[in-house]
DNA sequence: CAAAATAGTTCAATTATTTAACTATTTAAT
DNA sequence: ATTAAATAGTTAAATAATTGAACTATTTTG
């Protein structure tokens, strides 16, 4: 039997997390012209890593590899990323941003940052820091839960 | 020009919010047999409200009404919700859970709650409370940003 | 070296979504 | 009271995200 307060936390968490994701995605969409919300995060991730593989993306975003193939196909068609070869292991496809992809990302990060900034500056630094720290803990906990299954 | 610390908050927030959403959805999916993650949240929302309309769902979840039509069609086919008439205004379709929908939701909430509980009990009550409070503030801020556009 | 594991793709199906055009009904303005 | 505007919802065509199973190519391992 769940403790009453925990049950209320869960209730509130489920409601608010879904809403914030949906509403945030809707607002971001306005700044992302041709690129979708999901594609934006994949571009961000590849950029952060420099180079990465399909398998890594599938692990990080917790989807099947075939979903990554489909998405990277679209991003290659749009000229945002390129597929490269790995000389050590010829099974591996090295994904990286094209010059155009990098340019687009820099421009777009600016717009997205302004959006998120508008949202964040309604809170104090302490509150933001605490919020993000807890959020990062949750990300780790989820990772562990996924691994230990 | 963005302050450096704000910029880092934004960076961290974007990374972590997407990850937690994706990983959370992947974990929840295991408990939701025939129903999708999005459908689950729509069922939850209708249940919480008792009765609601397509327009309300579209507003709340920040999608077009036609997306709601498509989704409610699937939920009707699955026997989870029913469309009713409104005698005062015959344009309005009143959406509500069927008995089967209610039963399914009660069973499933149990499983989902256990999942979220596993995650939450790694944090103190104070930390959870603070986290959810800030999250709820963000939801309101996003709502305002959407309205004021 | 043969068998098992790994990296990635293809294909068919389902779902979520958008936009534009549409029907039906209600509200408001003259 | 009648017409014009607004509102609620659907339809249809298109794109995107996703899964799962079957598949190819390559590398590792026993």
Contact B10 A113 (CB under 8 A): yes
Chain B residues closer than 8 Å to A145 by CB: 27, 118-119
CA distances from B137 to A84, A130, A135, B53, B61 (A): 44, 14, 15, 26, 17
Percent above pLDDT 90 for chain A: 90
A41 CA, C5 C1': Å apart: 30
Chain A residues closer than 8 Å to B127 by CB: 134
**Coil, strand, or helix at residue B83?**
strand
| Chain B interface mutation, best of A24, A46, A68, A136, highest count of B Cβ atoms under 10 Å | A24
Contact B131, A129 (CB under 8 A): no
Helices marked H in chain B: 4-29, 37-49, 54-61, 65-77, 99-120, 125-147
User: Which pLDDT score, from 0 to 100, does residue A75 have?
Assistant: 98
User: Which pLDDT score, from 0 to 100, does residue B3 have?
Assistant: 74
Q: Which of residues 43-72 of B touch A (CB under 8 A)?
A: 44, 48, 60-63
Band of the pLDDT at A147, cuts 50, 70, 90? confident
- Surface-to-core class of residue B131, CB atoms within 10 Å of its CB (0-12 exposed, 13-18 middle, 19+ buried): buried
What are the tens digits of pLDDT across the range A44-100?
Answer: 999 999 999 999 999 999 999 999 999 999 999 999 999 999 999 999 999 999 999
User: Which pLDDT score, from 0 to 100, does residue B4 have?
Assistant: 78
Q: What is the 8-class DSSP label of residue B95?
A: E
User: Which pLDDT score, from 0 to 100, does residue A3 have?
Assistant: 73
pLDDT tens for chain B, residues 1 to 149? 567 788 899 999 999 999 999 999 999 999 998 999 999 999 999 999 999 999 999 999 999 999 999 999 999 999 999 999 999 999 999 999 999 999 999 999 999 999 999 999 999 999 999 999 999 999 999 988 887 75
**Which CATH code, of 1.20.1440.120, 1.20.58.1690, 3.40.1550.10, 1.10.10.10, is assigned to A32-147?**
1.10.10.10
Sign of the torsion angle spanned by Cα atoms B119, B40, A60, B5: negative
Contact A42, A57 (CB under 8 A): yes
Contact A92, A54 (CB under 8 A): no
Residues touching nucleic chain D (CB < 7 Å): A 36-39, 61-64, 66-67, 70-71, 74, 88-91; B 22, 26, 29, 53-56, 65-66, 68-70, 72-73, 83, 89, 91-93
What are the tens digits of pLDDT across the range A11-39?
Answer: 999 999 999 999 999 999 999 989 999 99
User: Which pLDDT score, from 0 to 100, does residue B147 have?
Assistant: 77
Chain B residues closer than 8 Å to A7 by CB: 113
Contact B145 A118 (CB under 8 A): yes
> What does DSSP say about strands B81-85 and B93-97: parallel, antiparallel, or unpaired?
antiparallel
B86 CA, D2 C1': Å apart: 26
CA distance B126 to B134: 12
CA distance B64 to B75: 17
Whether residue A2 is predicted with pLDDT greater than 80 in this model: the reply is no
Dihedral (C-alpha) B82, B88, B92, B98: value to the nearest 10 degrees? -10
User: Which pLDDT score, from 0 to 100, does residue A149 have?
Assistant: 59
Architecture of the domain spanning B25-123:
Orthogonal Bundle (1.10)
């Amino acid at each position: 039997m769940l403790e009453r307060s925990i049950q209320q936390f869960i209730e509130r968490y489920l409601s608010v997390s879904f809403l914030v994701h949906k509403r945030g995605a809707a607002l971001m969409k306005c700044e992302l012209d041709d690129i979708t919300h999901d594609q934006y995060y994949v571009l961000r991730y590849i950029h952060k890593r420099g180079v990465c593989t399909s398998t890594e993306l599938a692990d990080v975003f917790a989807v099947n590899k075939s979903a990554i193939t489909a998405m990277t196909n679209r991003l290659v068609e749009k000229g945002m990323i390129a597929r490269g070869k790995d000389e050590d292991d010829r099974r591996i496809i090295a994904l990286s941003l094209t010059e155009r992809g990098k340019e687009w990302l820099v421009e777009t990060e600016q717009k997205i940052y302004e959006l998120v900034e508008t949202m964040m500056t309604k809170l104090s630094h302490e509150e933001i820091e605490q919020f993000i720290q807890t959020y990062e803990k949750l990300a780790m906990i989820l990772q562990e839960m996924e691994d230990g299954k």
